[in-house]
Amino acid sequence: MATGRTHRPATRSRGIPEATVARLPLYLRALTALSERSVPTVSSEELATAAGVNSAKLRKDFSYLGSYGTRGVGYDVEYLVYQISRELGLTQDWPVVIVGIGNLGAALANYGGFASRGFRVAALIDADPAQTGKLVAGLPVRHTDELEEIVERNQVSIGVIATPAGAAQEVCDRLVAAGVTSILNFAPTVLSVPDGVDVRKVDLSIELQILAFHEQRKAGEDLGEAVARGTLPKAAEEAADRPGPDGDVPAVMPA
């Protein structure tokens, strides 16, 4: 998963487990697709497949929201779409500001999936005076000086940070001081925020590193298994034997 939430110490918000909340958008997406195809009802099995999860998990997830299914039939698609939307707070509009209109920020601003789910880009903000006033995705880029005013006037509670890492904490502090209580951070830094403020991060580099780990493991597996079976010549065996904690590796980094 390309996301990691900040430590929210097992806060079951109104009885809905955090893990379930994270899956609701997935169900919603699958349900919306069914709704567009005018499918009236769907079974937990079908929906689970569409959402890429286990059907028992899906049923348990829905059970936290209440009993919205009909035994022998399944779930009413429209009704479920409404219930999940309501639970996620998508029946209202959420004004969002994006700070840092560079490569990534501009891509985010142009992203259609934003508006499609009740999120409205209230403003684009950048510190570079050369950017100020430029139109990105039809919106004028505003200068950082106006940040507080924009947040307050538009009642923005969700902020997206797409600045370089060095500027992220400062931007975060200003957003929070101005009233933002939820932050989506694309900069590769750990943000510290006061209690009551949620931070979620998206870090491409971390995702790739996790993939690399598994990739390496896959590559080493065949070799490793061969070693275990003793079907390799001695030399290859030693090469495959990863240096263990016994420390026969150089204490310097080769790069």
Partner DNA sequence: CCATCTTTGTGCACGCGTTCACAAAGACAT
Partner DNA sequence: ATGTCTTTGTGAACGCGTGCACAAAGATGG
Where along the sequence are the contacts to DNA (CB under 7 A)? 7, 9-10, 12, 17-20, 43-45, 53-57, 59-60, 62-63, 67-75
Task: Indicate which single residue of 108, 121, 156, 191 sits in contact with ligand NAD (rule: CB under 6 A).
Answer: 108
Choice between 211 and 239, CB closer to DNA: 211
Which of the residues 165 through 224 are near a copy of itself (CB under 8 A)? 181-184, 188, 190, 192, 196, 198, 200-218
Neighbours of 181 (CB within 10 A): 15
Choice between 128 and 149, CB closer to ligand NAD: 128
Q: CA of 79: how far to CAs of 28, 186, 193, in Å? A: 11, 34, 37
Q: Residue 102, annotated ligand binder? A: yes
The piece of 36-44, 102-110, 206-214, 233-241 that touches ligand NAD (CB under 6 A) is: 102-110
Task: Indicate which single residue of 58, 81, 124, 171 sits in contact with a copy of itself (rule: CB under 8 A).
Answer: 81
Distance separating alpha carbons of residues 223 and 236, to the nearest angstrom: 9
User: Coil, strand or helix: which one is 114?
Assistant: coil
CB 76 within 8 A of CB 83: no
Closest distance to DNA from the beta carbon of 33 (Å):
17
43 binds, among ligand NAD, DNA, a copy of itself, none (CB under 5 to 8 A by kind): DNA
Q: CA of 233: how far to CAs of 18, 46, 221, 227, 255, in Å? A: 50, 50, 17, 9, 30
CB 243 within 8 A of CB 249: yes
Q: CA of 34: how far to CAs of 57, 85, 212, in Å? A: 20, 15, 35
Place of tokens 């370089």: 164
Which of the residues 144 through 203 are near ligand NAD (CB under 6 A)? 144, 162-165, 167, 170-171, 186-188
Q: Residue 100, annotated ligand binder? A: yes
What is the sign, positive or negative, of the torsion defined by CA atoms of 178, 179, 185, 189? positive
User: Coil, strand or helix: which one is 129?
Assistant: coil
Q: Residue 103, annotated ligand binder? A: yes
Count residues near a copy of itself (CB under 8 A). 93
Closest distance to DNA from the beta carbon of 226 (Å):
25
Interface positions with ligand NAD (CB under 6 A): 99-105, 107-108, 110-111, 113, 125-128, 131, 144, 162-165, 167, 170-171, 186-188, 204
Report the binding-site residues for NAD(+): 100-105
